[in-house]
């Protein structure tokens, strides 16, 4: 009986001990959580700002060719040259000027996924490129080499069949990896404008492409602005790149594609003296004058199949 009473007298002490322990644990948890929240709110924005800064600055360095924006626009994506609403009316092609020959020349650059925060102008995804080539095939188009293009334009008459010249500028590795297999799939040929100082496509790959019917054009040695160069610089850019590319490809290189589409009469003179037969700029038109064979027009192609159809018939629904 005495023992029983003693045992029961310990109970309140035990309860008090348990309550104090539980309260202490809860207090510790609350203090810890508060500290973490306080640190996160103070340091968080700084970390996010630093992280975002790094992400935004990356694409500038990874996109060094062709009309690269000097700095990224203030707001994205509103300020990018987003494609306007297409006006697709294949029954009403653009009017053709007198004295011209109608034959489209397409310009592509990167055939790859469009990186985030990059103006999409110089990218066509492999999926859309495939869809565009499929459309050409289904529409009955046949692709030309620059020499075949030259003969048709110089004849002064519109071709009687659907023909087209496809060009890819800058020689990115993805031109070999992504564009080349798709072109082969449809039995098409294309002209690859390579920069000899920075060849994204390796020499062995160039040989493989040429063996499969692809054509190599010069896009100069350094991809500088030809319209601002001295005659000596022009000779180096035009003649040296021609010699190197003929050595790599094992074929005559008679086509010059002006970097950034910039040229003048001096550029044309040195190009002719260096042994080129024809030169291409941008121009944005599908019609060409037979006499302007060092200033032929090309149309820039974007990552969009419906606009592609409009561009093929000369409807200019893009800024360039
Ligand atoms: Zn270029």
CA-based nearest residue to 276, from 305, 252, 249: 252
CA of 136 to the centre of ligand 1 (A): 24
Residues 113 and 120: their CA atoms lie apart, in Å, by: 10
CA of 255 to the centre of ligand 1 (A): 14
Q: What is the pTM of this model?
A: 0.74
Checking if the pLDDT of 148 tops 70, the result is yes
Residues 6 or more apart whose CB falls under 8 angstroms from that of 132 comprise 124, 301, 305, 308
Per-residue pLDDT averaged across 42-65, rounded? 35
More confident residue, 27 or 284: 284
CA of 259 to the centre of ligand 1 (A): 4
Q: Is the peptide bond before 232 cis (omega within 30 degrees of 0)?
A: no
Q: What is the mean pLDDT of the chain?
A: 81
Measured in residues, the chain has a length of: 320
Going from the C-alpha of 222 to that of each of 116, 259, 282, the distances in angstroms are 27, 9, 19
CA of 220 to the centre of ligand 1 (A): 9
- Please give all residues whose CB falls under 5 A of ion ligand 1, grouped by chain where several chains appear: 66, 169-170, 259
Which of 62-66, 141-145, 267-271 comes out lowest in average pLDDT? Answer: 62-66
Checking if the pLDDT of 244 tops 50, the result is yes
Percent of the chain predicted with pLDDT > 90 = 66
Which of 56-65, 121-130, 177-186, 265-274 comes out lowest in average pLDDT? Answer: 56-65
pLDDT digits (tens, 9 = 90+) for 259-291: 999 999 999 999 999 999 999 999 999 999 999
CA of 244 to the centre of ligand 1 (A): 18
pLDDT digits (tens, 9 = 90+) for 119-138: 778 999 999 999 999 999 99
**Residue 4 confidence (pLDDT):** 44
CA of 58 to the centre of ligand 1 (A): 21
Per-residue pLDDT averaged across 223-234, rounded? 97
CA of 169 to the centre of ligand 1 (A): 5
Q: Where are the beta strands (DSSP E) in 144-288?
A: 163-169, 191-194, 215-218, 255-257, 278-283, 287-288
pLDDT digits (tens, 9 = 90+) for 68-77: 333 333 333 3
**Residue 317 confidence (pLDDT):** 72
**Residue 81 confidence (pLDDT):** 45
CA atoms within 13 A on the CB side of 133: 25
């Amino acid at each position: 009986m005495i023992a029983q009473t003693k045992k029961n007298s310990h109970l309140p002490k035990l309860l008090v001990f348990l309550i104090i322990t539980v309260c202490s644990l809860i207090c510790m948890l609350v203090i810890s959580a508060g500290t973490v929240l306080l640190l996160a709110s103070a340091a968080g924005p700084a970390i996010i700002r630093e992280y975002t800064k790094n992400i935004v600055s990356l694409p500038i360095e990874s996109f060094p060719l062709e009309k690269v924006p000097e700095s990224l626009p203030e707001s994205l994506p509103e300020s990018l040259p987003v494609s306007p609403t297409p006006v697709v009316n294949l029954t009403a092609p653009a009017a053709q000027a007198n004295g011209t020959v109608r034959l489209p020349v397409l310009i592509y650059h990167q055939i790859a996924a469009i990186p985030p925060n990059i103006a999409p102008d110089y990218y066509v995804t492999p999926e859309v490129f495939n869809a565009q080539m499929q459309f050409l095939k289904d529409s009955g188009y046949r692709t030309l080499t620059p020499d075949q293009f030259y003969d048709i334009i110089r004849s002064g008459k519109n071709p009687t069949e659907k023909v087209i010249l496809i060009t890819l500028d800058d020689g990115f590795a993805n031109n070999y990896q992504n564009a080349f297999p798709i072109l082969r799939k449809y039995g098409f040929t294309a002209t690859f404008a390579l920069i000899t100082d920075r060849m994204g496509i390796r020499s062995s790959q160039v040989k493989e492409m040429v063996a499969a019917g692809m054509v190599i054009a010069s896009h100069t040695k350094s991809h500088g602005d030809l319209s601002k160069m001295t005659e000596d610089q022009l000779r180096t850019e035009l003649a040296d790149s021609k010699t190197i590319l003929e050595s790599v490809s094992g074929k005559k290189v008679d086509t010059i594609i002006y970097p950034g589409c910039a040229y003048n009469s001096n550029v044309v003179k040195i190009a002719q003296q260096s042994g080129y037969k024809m030169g291409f700029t941008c121009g944005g038109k599908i019609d060409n004058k037979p006499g302007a064979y060092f200033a032929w027009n090309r149309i820039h192609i974007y990552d969009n199949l419906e606009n592609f159809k409009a561009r093929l018939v000369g409807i200019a629904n893009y800024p360039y």
